[in-house]
Amino acid sequence: MSRHAVETEMLEVSFPTLPSTIEEVEELVGSGQTAPEKLIEIVKQCPSTSLNVLRRANSAYYGLRHEVESVEQAVRLLGFVEVTSIVVLEGANKMREQLTNHTGLLDRIMHASIFTGRFTQQLTRQLDLAGDWVRLAFSVGLLHVMGRLVLLYSAPDQYAPLFDERDSPLPEVEDERHLFGESHRSLAHRAGEHWSLSDRICSVLRGAIDLSGPSTGRPQTVAVTVRVGSALAQQDLTGESLTLPEGLPTAETSLSEELVAVAADDATDYAANLGVF
């Protein structure tokens, strides 16, 4: 997909090119097919993705006695959800290559994206949502925060100073809206539509823009989970203790402090150990 601009009241929005591996894996997730053969083909297309899948399979987390040497073995060992997450993350990391400056801000965006994607994935598992929602959860969480990448891509000279001039680890939503007329939340949804991602992904990204309305259905449950994960990612960047953010309708979606704590601990470890490729 080519660079594309859309005029808004205060901001000319430009969307980074979405890597083909993300498109292909999202189509696979949307199709409901979980057999490993097609996923193995997608992984093998990209040498860096293949390397990272093998690296994950041979990590201390799995503690295998014998080294996994083939992509086929690694994909079957890690499973569909884990491998699609790695593919999406590798694709997101390639998107950052379309920006050449502001490394510090990019690193924080990527860390927050990884944390939010993993948190959303783990919490949807704990909430026993249907498998198709768990399979897209990492993508939704990561892309929600990647709306910040769209802002940095569209207006680097205006967005980067928000990072430099504030005490918070990432620019606040209110500052984004004040400067540009919209925030990374709305831009994540617009990017999802621009990239023709699945209706389910777009419905969650749309729901995560404003949680003040009725909280019903699985898309809204995942949307609340995404927003909680995004808020916790900000805390994780500061190194402070993670606490359930106030003001979100967590009770209506069965999010308890215990469930959130378990998912947050996992997301912290995942983001720290995986890091930015």
Residue reference for tokens 């983001």: 271
Instruction: Determine if the pTM surpasses 0.85.
Output: yes
Q: What is the pLDDT along the chain (277 residues), one digit of tens a residue?
A: 444 444 444 688 999 999 998 999 999 888 888 889 999 999 999 898 999 899 888 887 667 778 888 999 999 999 999 999 999 988 888 888 888 788 888 999 999 999 999 999 999 988 888 788 888 999 999 999 999 999 999 999 999 888 876 778 899 999 999 999 999 999 999 999 999 999 989 999 999 998 766 556 788 889 989 999 999 999 999 887 888 777 676 665 677 888 888 999 999 988 887 654 3
**SS3 category, 12:** strand
Residue 15 backbone phi and psi in degrees, to 5: -100, 130
Domains and CATH numbers, the chain: 18-97 (no CATH), 101-277 (1.10.3210.10)
Q: Which of 190, 162, 160, 189 is nearest to 12 (CA)?
A: 190
* Crossing angle of the two packed helices 47-57 and 36-45, in degrees rounded to 10: 120
Q: Which residues of 170-194 are buried (b: 16+ CB within 10 A; e: fewer)?
A: bbeeebbeebbebbbbbbbbbbbeb
SS3 14: strand
Helix (H/G/I), strand (E/B), else coil: 7:
strand
The alpha-helical segments, DSSP class H, found in 2-130 are 20-31, 36-45, 47-57, 71-78, 80-96, 103-126
